[in-house]
Amino acid sequence: MKITNIKTTPLLCKFKQDYHWADGVTLCSPVVLIEVETDEGIVGIAESGVGPTIEPMLSVLHDAIPHFIGRSVFDGNRLIWEYFQSGFKARGVGSQYRFFSRTMSGIELALWDAIGKGLNQPVCNILGGAVRDKVGYFGFVQGDTAEELAEHAGQLAKEGYPVLYVKVGRDDRLDVDIVAAVRKVAPNVRLRLDANEAWDTLRAVRMMEKLKAFDIEIMEQPVPGIGGSDALLRLRGVGMPLSADQSVYLPEEVFEMCRSHAVDAIVLGLHETCGALRWRKAAAVAEAANIRINIHGIFETGITTCIANQVGATVPNLDDANQIMWQLLEEDLVESPDLRPVNGFLPVLKKPGYGFELDLDAVGRAAEVYCKQKR
């Protein structure tokens, strides 16, 4: 099956409500829809998660796409890294793995969808088979004030989510008020916090000591990721389990993080690793250290939910409360299947490819929002 064209469609998918976190307020998910067209009429679909903005990613994608035309869908592993060599490394920006990975992840992931559809198999089967029947997700608590967040937390707990996840790192007093309010309405859930790199060492120690009173299962990336494992190791004395998110993108970084004994879990998404193959390699590194891996979410749509569901299902050390993001959108791009978790779980998707159908009207509207923003 040969690649005849790769279509890129920039989209802005609006959120239902403002998304409050340590880096401010975010209003939408910007993504690039990737459609790999083939000579057999099969189209592989995925998305690249945007960072920092859509335009430089489109520029790189358009530079890369000619390298793929006329080649087999089974050559993705070779073609992506050939382009990394000639399009990135050779141009003196070889260290920018993170930008490269996010940009090219959509192509890597769309090729798997084309392969799955071509072989009439779900992608998880092609990757060796699922090791579980369902994938777990946390209830992602949304709102601005402690009252709003507590109300949503109560609702998610009633819906049966065993794990809730709350953003902190916004303001010390507000953070404590939020966590106290959430814990009050959801006394029996496993509660996880994410400070998104907001604190220096002293502030992280002070905040974690205060937040310990609320029985926190994991504190995610309290200090800047650039500090690597050393910055996280300094917090070990607090006695609160830690996870690394922004510290780790590459399997090599996962190896170093696991070797350091700085964290108890790794948070990593498929866009960060440039797709499924390297995500599974990173998961295998963590598995060798007996450390679980949690599917990270960036600003994305249900397309990524479907992809991560199948790829995540193939690794034994997958966390039981992964990140899910499509529900933040005013309207998702996926028409089917139903991606609402039941008691915090979705079954592993088993239709050919990633098993989703796009809502083409929703795609059209998100493309229009992007075009309006450009004008």
The distance from CA 269 to its chain's CA centroid, rounded to whole angstroms, is 4
Q: Within 329-348, which residues bind Mg ion (CB under 5 A)?
A: none
Asked if 194 is part of the footprint of Mg ion (rule: CB under 5 A), the reply reads yes
State the minimum distance, in angstroms, from the CB of residue 94 to Mg ion.
26
Asked if 245 is part of the footprint of Mg ion (rule: CB under 5 A), the reply reads yes
Count helices and strands (H / E) in the chain: 12, 14
Stretch that binds Mg ion, among 62-70, 190-198, 224-232, 334-342 (CB under 5 A): 190-198
Angle between helices 251-260 and 276-288 (to 10 degrees): 20
The count of residues interacting with Mg ion (CB under 5 A) is 3
Q: CB nearest Mg ion: which residue? A: 245
State the minimum distance, in angstroms, from the CB of residue 190 to Mg ion.
17
Taking a C-beta distance cutoff of 8 angstroms, is the pair 295, 325 a contact?
Answer: no
CA distance 323 to 293: 11
Beta partners for 48?
A: 32
The residue (of 156 and 244) whose beta carbon lies closer to Mg ion is 244
The residue (of 113 and 220) whose beta carbon lies closer to Mg ion is 220
Q: Within 248-287, which residues bind Mg ion (CB under 5 A)?
A: none
The residue (of 245 and 300) whose beta carbon lies closer to Mg ion is 245
Asked if 35 is part of the footprint of Mg ion (rule: CB under 5 A), the reply reads no
The residue (of 61 and 298) whose beta carbon lies closer to Mg ion is 298
State the minimum distance, in angstroms, from the CB of residue 356 to Mg ion.
25
The residue (of 23 and 63) whose beta carbon lies closer to Mg ion is 23
Long-range contacts of 61-65 (CB under 8 A, 24+ apart): 61/6, 61/8, 61/32, 61/34, 61/103, 61/104, 61/106, 61/107, 62/8, 63/87, 64/103, 64/104, 64/107, 65/6, 65/8, 65/107
Asked if 319 is part of the footprint of Mg ion (rule: CB under 5 A), the reply reads no
Asked if 175 is part of the footprint of Mg ion (rule: CB under 5 A), the reply reads no
The residue (of 220 and 272) whose beta carbon lies closer to Mg ion is 220
Tokens for 252, please give them: 């090599």
Instruction: State the Cα angle at 235 between 283 and 169, rounded to 5°.
Output: 85
User: Binding string, 130-159, against Mg ion, x = CB under 5 A?
Assistant: ------------------------------
Taking a C-beta distance cutoff of 8 angstroms, is the pair 152, 181 a contact?
Answer: no
State the minimum distance, in angstroms, from the CB of residue 6 to Mg ion.
30
φ, ψ of residue 16 to 5 degrees: the values are -65, -40
Positive or negative, the Cα torsion across 178, 179, 185, 189?
A: positive
Beta partners for 83?
A: none
- CA-to-CA dists, residue 242 to 273, 285, 342, angstroms: 21, 18, 27
User: Binding string, 211-240, against Mg ion, x = CB under 5 A?
Assistant: ---------x--------------------
Stretch that binds Mg ion, among 100-108, 193-201, 279-287, 346-354 (CB under 5 A): 193-201
CA distance 202 to 209: 11
The residue (of 47 and 194) whose beta carbon lies closer to Mg ion is 194
Stretch that binds Mg ion, among 64-72, 107-115, 191-199, 202-210 (CB under 5 A): 191-199
User: What are the residues binding Mg ion (CB under 5 A)?
Assistant: 194, 220, 245
